[in-house]
Each structure stands twice: as C-alpha cells, then as structure tokens.
Amino acid sequence: MELRIANLSKTYANGVKALDDVSLTVPQGMYGLLGQNGAGKSTLMRTIATLQDADSGSVTLGDIDVLKDKDEVRKRLGYLPQDFGVYPRISAADMLDHLALLKGVASAKDRKALVEAMLNKVNLFEVRKKALSSYSGGMRQRFGIAQALIGNPKLLIVDEPTAGLDPGERNRFYNLLAEVGESVIVILSTHIVEDVLELCSKMAIIHKGRVLYEGGPEAAVESLEGKIYSRKIAKAELKDYETNYKVISNKMVAGRPLIHVYSETALDGDFAAARPTLEDVFFSKIGELS
C-alpha cells in the first residue's frame, strides 16, 4: 500500500499559502517530512489525517480517496499530533481500554488483551495503572504511539514526536518507531534533521508549503560531496561572508561562528573542505527558495 499526494494546495483565510502544489509518494516504512516550523508540515499532516480540507489536489491511500472517504481513512489511521494532550487523572490502561471501545472492540476480554499488548509494545505495562499526568515526556510520547496503534492502522502519522525528549527517551522512541515502520506506512514530520537521518530511508524537504526535495537521505547528502566548505570567522565578519559567499549555515563554536559555505568550485584561503551532512542539504535547499 502507498500514500499518494498529488498537487495538494491550501491557502488560509489570512492569505498564507500553507501548501503549494505538493506531490509526494509515500511507501510502506519510515518516511521523513523535514521542514522548519511553519513550513506546512502540520497542515499537510492534518489534511492527510482528515482533520481539515485542502483547496485542491488529491490524496489516496491504496484505493481510498482520503479527501472524500474520511470514515474509511480513519479506520486505517493512527495519529500522534504535535500537541498530544492526556486526561490527567486517568490511567494508561483505562484510557487505552476506552479508545479500543471507540474503535469498535466490543468484547472486554479482547480489549484487555489488546491493551496489554499495546502497553507491552511501548514498554509501559509496569506503569499501566499510574495516572497519565505522572508520566515523563518520553513516556507520554510512547503512550501516544500506543493509542495511535489501537485498531491496527495501515498509516501512522507522528508530528514532531521527539521535541523536548532527553537522549535516552529519544532513543527508545526511535527504536519503537523503527519497529512499527516494518509493517505500516509511518510519516515522521519533524524539524530535527537527526530524526530523519537515523530513522528514514525516504524523505522530503518542505519549505513555505513547497516540496524542495524528495528521495533518500543518503543520496541527498552525496549530491553535496565536494561542494561544502567550512571556516571559523570573527562575529564581525559574518555579514561580509554572507554577502560574498553562499553561507548556508552558521553556529557558534567556542564563541566564534563556524560557517558552512556552498560552492561549486574549490575555495582557497582558510576554508576547509567539509564532509556534507543532511543538515547541509536542508539549509542549502531552503536557501534556494529564500
């Protein structure tokens, strides 16, 4: 099964064009959607999740028209939004039982088996009776995946799932998503480059509502081989370098900016050839549109 998005556009009442003729083909497995906050990722995710309508274009999941057959999509959809709220006093087990009932699992015995399986899958079985409000950020995100997987979805959407997680929780979440992605379509929407690089075999970069790249992360990185140069400079020199070179990124290292420059030809002086990264791909692509 594939998710196909064709010529999807959405303009809000305030004139903001959130999606601009977006076309993507998303196969089974982990698919990364990389973009800055406000790039249009959440609008695209909400549209796929049947939570809002597009102005034009089409979305199909297998042979299902996502924009028209919303009830059929919802039967096959799991969704973990960026702002995932929980009822403060209810336990994980009780909440999942309630959600399973809403999904049509009428038998109490079947719901119990399903809930226990989900809690074991996300490593929350031992704390299943604790209130969700007592969970850490990582535990809440893992619970979010459990609730999204109720009903055995064919499509799972996770929107900015690792923001705010500590390294340990982030790694556990990575492992869980990778396991889930072996059997379903998982769209990982994020602005964190490492999330896409470590998890996804296919990806797209979206900026200002437009798709700037679609393909494999490794191929994207290889396309910049021999074209990225780095140099440490003084803070006062940054504007001059941005004027005279194609500076795609800069970050402070030991109190001085370390700049990465894109160049088709070799740069002399104090520039050093740098091994390209997916972050370089990201900044070079959005720089083309800015």
Note down the domain range covering 227. 223-289
- Using DSSP, state whether 37 is helix, strand or coil: coil
- In whole angstroms, what is the distance from residue 146 CA to residue 108 CA? 18
* 105 shares a domain with 93: yes
Q: Rounded to two decimals, what is the model's pTM?
A: 0.85
Q: What is the CA radius of gyration of the chain?
A: 21
Tally of domains in the chain: 2
* 64 shares a domain with 189: yes
* Predicted confidence (pLDDT) per residue in 266-278, tens digit: 998 789 999 999 9
Task: With beta carbons less than 8 A apart as the criterion, state whether 159 and 170 touch.
Answer: no
Share of the chain above pLDDT 90, in %: 63
Which pLDDT value is given to residue 84?
A: 65
CATH of the domain at 35: 3.40.50.300
Which stretches in the chain have pLDDT values below 50? none
Select from 220, 237, 255 the last residue of a domain.
Answer: 220
Q: DSSP code of 248?
A: E
Q: Which two tokens stand for residue 118?
A: 């989900």
* 114 shares a domain with 35: yes
* 244 shares a domain with 111: no
Select from 197, 220, 243 the last residue of a domain.
Answer: 220
* 54 shares a domain with 168: yes
H helices of the chain, in order, are 41-48, 70-75, 92-102, 108-121, 137-149, 167-180, 193-199, 217-222, 238-244, 278-289
Which pLDDT value is given to residue 85?
A: 64
